Amino acid sequence: MTNPPPAEIILSTSRTHGLVAIASGENLLQARDALQEAGFSRLPDGAFAAPLSAAQNARETASALVHRAHEHGATITTSPRPYLGDTGQAIAARLPGTWSAKLEIYPRQHWQEDLIGSLWDSGDLLQAMLHDRVPYAVMLNNHAGTELLLIERPGHASGYLLGAFATQEYDDNWDEPNAPRSIALPAAANRAARAVAHTFLPNYRRALHHRRLDTVMTALNRIRPEYETLQAIKDSGRYSDGMPLANSRLQPQMERAFADHAWLSFRNVLQHAPLLLSRCRPTASPWPQDAAALARLHEALANSQDAWAEFNDLRAELYSIPATLPARQWSQIRSELGAAVLPAIETWLADGETFERQARAAVPGGHVALSATAHRRPAPPTPARPTNAHL
């Protein structure tokens, strides 16, 4: 990534605002001072604008900006593209459903870098955010869980790159195998919107379906060996190495330890499986006989809702819980939750393979991609809200 000027003013034109300027660089305050002294007004999104309606006033503003920028040591760069905020609005207006577009400015490089951990991409957008200077971008949001990032395509005089952020429940997005590939968009807003609606969003929705399914199956695969080992010990009265269970009090301790560990994984099932189950249509699949197993899985999830609600209430109250709460008490909470959903765990272990084949047969299609889980990502540079690893 090349070092940007310490104070830079990036100019573009807008049908709505006239001449739009974005201040960037480590010394961005100097660039802002130059803009304000040249007669630019600040827009709500942080950019600056000056009208171009009167030719004489426009020339005076441009001349004043050149002089003020020189006085403040700011470099002026003219973009060959129209103002990105307008482009984002035009694309959002043409997408299916209701979308909003918001320009975000990253005047310093570390603000741009703050976005990288939230991106869920295996294509050029992630590479651009890693290796190119991206001083601003547009967030496209359908307010139903899908949030996209739109940037000007680096190294090209026109066109854009668009990719997705991960949904709220996912933090570890680096090298995630299901990550969709970002898409290069043409300059024309109507063509760009068609590419987003008919190509990117369906791919994104399928990728999210597979990621959720992998999350559920990984959780079950973590639980299964421990469950089978515990059951073998209970049935035989011996440890896995053949030694007899000498103390009868050890079995309840092992059950509590299993419930503790099982909850940490099974909560992923409770979070992701309902949406996947709702898409399964066994009668339309090659395995209509799976309907009974899916009904059992539905019932198991319904019977776990009290524990799931208790867990979410607890997460919402984390800030009122003393940080010094001993790990043993956290373990006890998890054990109680795990014991409460043990019948559901057993059902999901028994019918998990049936669920997997039905869910893989239910990959969504169509040109509208919507997520059911709301996503809230703090805008940079606000630090990410801390989480509690014990839960």
Both tokens of residue 352?
């998990």
Q: Is the pLDDT of residue 389 over 50?
A: no
| pLDDT exceeds 90 at position 75 | yes
- Residue 67 in any domain: the answer is yes
Residues 218 and 150 in one domain: no
Structure-model confidence comparison of residues 368 and 283, the more confident one: 283
Inside any domain, residue 44: yes
Nearest to 274 by CA among 169, 192, 176: 169
pLDDT of residue 243: 59
Both 88 and 60 in a single domain? Answer: no
Instruction: Give residue 245's pLDDT.
Output: 62
Task: Give the β-pairing of 41-42 and 136-141.
Answer: unpaired
- Positive or negative, the CA dihedral 219, 278, 118, 80 is positive
31 and 12 within one domain = yes
- pLDDT tens for each residue of 245-291: 656 566 778 889 999 999 999 999 999 999 999 999 999 999 999 99
Q: Specify the pLDDT at position 202.
A: 97
> What residues contact residue 15 under an 8 Å CB cut-off, 6+ apart?
82, 86
Q: Is the distance from CB of 295 to CB of 356 less than 8 angstroms?
A: no
pLDDT in tens, 287-324: 999 999 999 999 999 999 999 999 888 776 655 555 55
Q: pLDDT category, 216, cuts 50, 70, 90? A: very high
Q: Residues 212, 186: one domain?
A: no
Question: Which residue, 204, 225, 243, sits at the end of a domain?
Answer: 204
Q: Output the pLDDT for position 373.
A: 36
* Judgement on whether residues 272 and 218 belong to the same structural domain of the protein: yes
- Domain shared by 240 and 269, yes or no: yes
CA distance 349 to 221: 9
Last residue of a domain, one of 154, 181, 204: 204
Same-domain pairing of 213 and 189: no
Q: State both tokens at 342.
A: 């043990």
Looking at residue 252, what is its pLDDT?
Answer: 79
pLDDT(370) > 50: no
Predicted local distance difference test score (pLDDT) of residue 318: 56
Q: Is the pLDDT of residue 5 over 70?
A: yes
Domain containing 30: what range?
8-78
Residue 373 lies in a domain: no
**Residue 181: inside a domain, yes or no?**
yes
Is 66 inside any structural domain? yes
Report the domain count for the chain. Answer: 3
Q: Please enumerate in sequence order all residues whose Cβ is within 8 A of that of 247, keeping only pairs 6 or more positions apart, or say none.
A: none
- Identify the domain boundary among 175, 204, 233: 204
In a domain, 333, yes or no: yes
Q: Could you tell me if 192 and 228 lie in one domain?
A: no
Q: Are residues 65 and 169 in the same domain?
A: no
What is residue 324's predicted lDDT score, i.e. its pLDDT?
Answer: 56
Assess if residue 2 is contained within a domain.
Answer: no
How far is Cα 225 from Cα 221, in angstroms, rounded to an integer?
Answer: 7
The answer as to whether 382 is a domain residue is no
143 and 20 co-located in one domain:
no
Same domain? 252 vs 331: yes
pLDDT, tens only, 123-167: 999 999 999 999 999 999 999 999 999 999 999 999 999 999 999
Q: Tell whether 73 and 94 lie within a shared domain.
A: no
